[in-house]
Structure formats: C-alpha cells, structure tokens
Structure 1
Amino acid sequence: MERPGRTAGRSRPRRPHRWRRALLAALVTGAVVVPLSAAARPSVPAPAPADTGRVTAAGLEAAYAAHRGNAAQASRMAEAHGHRHRAGVEDSLAAPSRQLLFFDGRGQGRAVEVLGDLAHADRVAVLVPGSDTSLDTYGRFRAAARALHRSLTAQAPAGTGTAVVAWLGYDTPATFGAAVLTTDRADEGAVRLGEFIRTLRGLTGPRTTVALLCHSYGSVVCARAADGPSADDIVLVGSPGTGADSVADLHTRARVWAARGSGDWVADVPHIRAELLGTTVGFGTDPVSPAFGARVFTAGHGGHSDYFAPGSASLAGLTRIVLGETPEASRG
C-alpha cells in the first residue's frame, strides 16, 4: 500500500470512530467498483526468465550473469515496442555491477537483487515490498535496499558480513484497487517467498541470520508465509494488518516486530476484517497494538514511504534488528 505520506510531524489525536466507519465504507466501495490494477497495466514483451537450475553459493556469479543477460534482452525488446521507461530500468539492471538472483521482465516484472556478499554474509535482510511496486517503480524499492545496506555496513561490528536482498518476487496489487484489500496476492507471494527463503538458506552459512523486513501490503505476504520460511526476525512496518489476530496465530518461531511512523496514513485504515460478496476484506488487528503482541519499536515521525529514509529513527531500528540488537522501544 503505497501513498504519499503526510508531512512528518507530531502525532495527531485520534479521530472519532465515525470517521473510521466512513473510511471503511470507502474501502469497501473501492473493493467493489475499482477494477483490478492488472487490467490497466500495459503488457510489456520480454523473454522467459533464464534457467539457472538449482543455484549454489559457488554458482552465484554465474546466476547473476545469466539474469543480467536476460535483463539486457528484455530491455531491447521493451525498447523495440516503445516501452522506453521499462527499457531503461532493465538496462540498468543489466549493468555488470548488478547481482540479480532472479529476473522476469514479463508483465509487471519481478526481480530479486542482492546487495553485498551473500555467500559470506552473517546477517541477511530480505525486503518485501508493498503495493504499486513493479519494475516500472523499482528504483524507489532499490533505494530503500541501498539505504539499509549502507546503514548495516556502517553499523556492523568488525568482521560481521551483511547483505540485503531486494525481493520483488510477486505481483503486487495497486494501492487503489480491489486486490489490495484481500489476501489473494499475498497468498501467491507467500508461496514464492517461502521457496526463496529455503533457497537462501542453501546459499548462506548455517549460522547466518535472516530478517524479513515487510512494508505495508508486504507485511501481509510475510504473515501468510510466517509458518514456512525459517526467518529469525519478521519486521512489519507501515502495516495495515496481517490477516492474523495475534503473533501467536502466525505460528512462527521468529521474533516479530512492528513499527509505524506518526505521520503514516495507514494508521487511519480500520483494522477489521469483514465478509463482502464471499471475500474477506481487511486485515484485522493493528500490528502495533498490544493485542497483537509484536515487539513494537519506535519509527519516529515519518510517513508511509519513509521507513528506510537515511538518518531516520525507523532505519536505525531496522538496522539494529538485522544485526541482532534491540531497537529503541516505542513509547506510544
């Protein structure tokens, strides 16, 4: 769920419940009358993904090269069909310095990019994005991954290797569309995320820790996958809810964290679930509420898109979690 955040500032007082009911009505209306975003997105031609087979730590460089080559081919095809913006994004992904663990330029596009030395990392963070994230908007997602990687590199103890994975491994919903109000896309994404974490565990050392950093609708994906992938930490930021009533319902051994900036509009989303035409709309308990039971840490005054902003309280907290430390606790 991506929408420009409010200007950072002090937390606003709670609005009367009637405003929450009105907002819920608007969301339900949107779920009925707003078409799925996929119908409005133009089809971009691209080759099938490169077949690298089962990737091992020793074969990482070969896999990176194969997917870069596929991105270069996709860029040429997109350019030939007039999709210049997509062609530029794919051309950038094909640069020799990029470490692509997966690439698929078809449709919305998917990419899994590694920052750092994955095979020798002691601490790995996997970023799971929210809505409106595709190859066409990949730049802002990668910027978040780069900011985290820089922070980890600066804060990690001597001798501790770190890596960040920007995991755009599912078709995200649009912010203004029916799919963003249900778990359908998240269910699909959870299967792929679980498969990826299992692959990741085979590429890293037995003592490597893995933290899933899940933003907005991405937190729904992580929650649906929580009982599968063996993550050490699951972090929910800017979450509209997870579809679960509590941490216990996630059935995970991972430590579960949650944070929300005081300027994040998602605080105004009603945290309920309702049946609508045979579909469950909404995601239930607020992850930063005591009832959910997550370890809540401070995220400062930022908005919905500010969690990875350099110098922010939220980025500092995320960095500490990935490094196995305790972030500053929220004071409400």
Structure 2
Amino acid sequence: MSKGSRIRRTLLAGLVAAAVAFPVSAAASPLVPAPGPLAFADSASAQERYAANLGNLAEAARMAQDAGRGDRAAKLRAMAVTSADGAERAGSASRFLAFDGRGRGLAVEVLGDLDTADRIAVLVPGSDTTLDTYQRFREGAFALQQRLQADHPRSAVIAWLGYDTPGTVSTTVLTARRADRATAELGPFLSRLRTLTADGARISLLCHSYGSVVCARTETGPGVTDMALFGSPGTGAGAAADLPTGARVWAGRGSEDWIGGVPHVRLGPLGFGTDPVDPAFGAQAFDAGSAGHSDYLKPGTASLDALARIVLGPPSPAGPSPAASVTPVEARRA
C-alpha cells in the first residue's frame, strides 16, 4: 500500500468515526432527545464503522419494536439495505458514516465509493426530514447517484441528514436558528471529506429548501467547487457574494414549486430576504423545469439533469466532460 493510500485511509477513519460516537444503547433509543454535535473519532476503519452502524440500526429497530413503534422499526430496517425502495437486496448492506436513532434521528449515508470518486455530491435536505421520512430523502439521493453513474462511474452521493431539521409548519422554519446549529456539523464534515478526495476531485453541495439556509451559512473552504440552492426560501444574505464560500453558487426553482409564492422578506429574525433566483442575488441560474417543491431529484426531470451536470462540472482540458456543462437560463433565453 502506498504512503498516499495509508494517509487517505487514516483520514477516512477520522471522517467515518462520526458514525458511532455514542454508545449503541443510547444512540439506538428512539425515545430520548436527539444528540448534540456529531463528534469525530479516529480509531476505526470505514468498513468497521459501516458495520457498526448497521448494528446500531438493527438495535434501534429492535428497541423501537419493543416500545410499540412498529412503523419506526420497519423504516429503520429498510434503511439497512441499499435500495431506493427499501426492498432487501443480496449483498446490498447500506454504508452509513453516521447514524443516531434518538429522537427525530441523524444519518449520513454514502452511495458510491468515496475511495475512488472524483465527483462527490453532498445532499443537504430541508424541513421535516427525519428518520421517519428518510426513505423519501434517500430516493432522491439514489436517483442522483444513478444519473451521475450513467455518465461518470467515479461518482458518489452523500445523503447528509446531519442536523435536526425544523418542521414545515412551525416557527423554527422561519428563523436561522436550526441552520446555525447545522453549520457546526456541516463545516467540519466538509473539512474532513475534503482531505479524503483525490487531487482535483470536485465536491458539490446540493441544498434543498431549508437546507439552502444551512449551506449558505456554512464556510465551505476551497474543496467545495459548487453550491446549488433549489426550492430555497432565501438564505438570509442579500447576495451570493456575501456567502462564506468560494464555490460557484447556483440557484434554480421549478415552475410548480409553491415556495415561489412565499414572500422573500426579512423582519428581524424572521424570514430569509432576497430570493436566490432573483438576478439581483447574483447566483448562476439553472433551469429546474416544471419541478414542484419535492420533485427536484425525480428521475427523468430537467432539474435532476441540471443538478447532475453541476456536480459533473465543465469539460476537462484533458478530455471530454462526463456530461455537458450547465447552460445558464439567461443564455438559453438570449
């Protein structure tokens, strides 16, 4: 094994150790409050952490069943297999960098191979994404991974449910309080992830709905090349240039997305101000087609194609691009 490979494996251990920072007996309980920050440890390999998290999932499902929460137990069991519909497949064990079954739950799942990927998408979900609704989030991650793989096999998707999301119908969804807590998780995660990628690898943040508030408040560092905001209520910033990132910032909204009718205002701590798809915000627009608020990652949609092209990036000087680059909306209208 080369020195570079050994270093990468050591760093990977630090990243994936976030999976089981808490005792199994505590993390598996669906009846106690959600935990604080996901800590990083450095004492186990990726495969050991993946295996440990499958054990945590099984224990969480057992405890939920014993507590009379059969629906939660079934959903947890479905998470243990790698398939969009939750149906069991031979040799298809899931790979979780992080899992905590307490409260509404936290989970960070890898689709693809981080060891070889040079195109990595980190999906950050919006409100009402919990372990109970995880399958919906996962279906979008699978659709994106399949779309990326069709053009570029060396790609990976990380479904990052690393924060306690607000409820859609709640006062918390109108403020940045949950987003501020989430940045304390997402920023360190991206830093660890960046150290594991091959030279020249692209990491893209794809941020849906309230997740766009999270991404827009996160310092991404130089490893993140692109940040795509879709179905966004706003970011709290007046312009893309004000975000704490050097990444190229994209914004798109489907014509059937109800969030387009939400006033983009800010009154003290309430609201998120400028609409990211407003030209005044300064993001590069991408065509999201006719997507509704929950449809951006559905197979066969213009929005999924556009997001995949953002992840895959522009043509390489060394050869053809794995997919055509995104053409901004303005250019297509010219």
Please say whether Structure 1 and Structure 2 have the same fold, judged by a TM-score greater than 0.5.
yes
Shift of 1:48: 8.2
Residue 165 of structure 1, aligned match among 158, 167, 170: 158
Instruction: Tell me the TM-score normalised to structure 2 length.
Output: 0.80
Shift of 1:55: 7.0
**Alignment map for 1:120-269 (pairs within 5 Å):** 120-156=116-152, 161-226=154-219, 228=221, 230-269=223-262
Does the 8 Å CA contact 1:45/1:74 hold for their aligned counterparts? no
**Alignment map for 1:312-323 (pairs within 5 Å):** 312-323=301-312
Are residues 47 and 218 of structure 1, via their aligned partners in 2, closer, same or farther at CA, if it must alter by over 3 Å? closer
Distance 1:229 1:175 in 2: 32
Distance 2:267 2:33 in 1: 39
Deviations 1:57-85 (A, max 9, x none): xx211111111111111111111001112
Deviations 1:145-186 (A, max 9, x none): 000000000022xxx510000000000000000000000000
Shift of 1:198: 1.3
The RMSD of aligned alpha carbons is: 2.3
Shift of 1:329: 2.2
Does the 8 Å CA contact 2:191/2:221 hold for their aligned counterparts? no
Distance 1:162 1:206 in 2: 14
Structure 1 stretches (4+) deviating beyond 6 angstroms?
Answer: 46-52
Are residues 108 and 84 of structure 1, via their aligned partners in 2, closer, same or farther at CA, if it must alter by over 3 Å? same
2:88 is the alignment partner of 1:102: no
Equivalent position of 1:311 in the other structure: 300
State the percentage of identical aligned residues.
53
**Structure 2 residue identity aligned to 1:238:** G
SS at match of 2:212: helix
Does the 8 Å CA contact 1:121/1:161 hold for their aligned counterparts? yes
Are residues 248 and 192 of structure 1, via their aligned partners in 2, closer, same or farther at CA, if it must alter by over 3 Å? same
Distance 2:130 2:97 in 1: 16
Shift of 1:45: 5.0
Deviations 1:200-219 (A, max 9, x none): 12332232210000000000
**Structure 1 residue identity aligned to 2:232:** S
Shift of 1:190: 1.0
SS at match of 2:49: helix
Deviations 1:206-259 (A, max 9, x none): 322100000000000000104557411110000000010001110321000000
Distance 1:84 1:214 in 2: 31
**Structure 1 residue identity aligned to 2:275:** D
Equivalent position of 2:321 in the other structure: none
Are residues 201 and 227 of structure 1, via their aligned partners in 2, closer, same or farther at CA, if it must alter by over 3 Å? closer
Residue 70 of structure 1, aligned match among 30, 53, 56: 56
**Runs (5+) with no aligned partner, structure 2:** 1-28, 82-91, 315-324
Residue 111 of structure 2, aligned match among 103, 115, 122: 115
Shift of 1:124: 0.3
Are residues 226 and 269 of structure 1, via their aligned partners in 2, closer, same or farther at CA, if it must alter by over 3 Å? farther
Equivalent position of 1:44 in the other structure: 31
Distance 1:65 1:227 in 2: 29
Distance 2:236 2:256 in 1: 23
Pairs aligned (count): 282
Are residues 64 and 148 of structure 1, via their aligned partners in 2, closer, same or farther at CA, if it must alter by over 3 Å? same
Distance 1:294 1:316 in 2: 18
Does the 8 Å CA contact 2:216/2:244 hold for their aligned counterparts? no
Distance 1:287 1:306 in 2: 18
Residue 263 of structure 2, aligned match among 270, 273, 276: 270
Instruction: Tell me the TM-score normalised to structure 1 length.
Output: 0.80
Moved more, 45-54 or 91-100: 45-54
Equivalent position of 1:61 in the other structure: 47
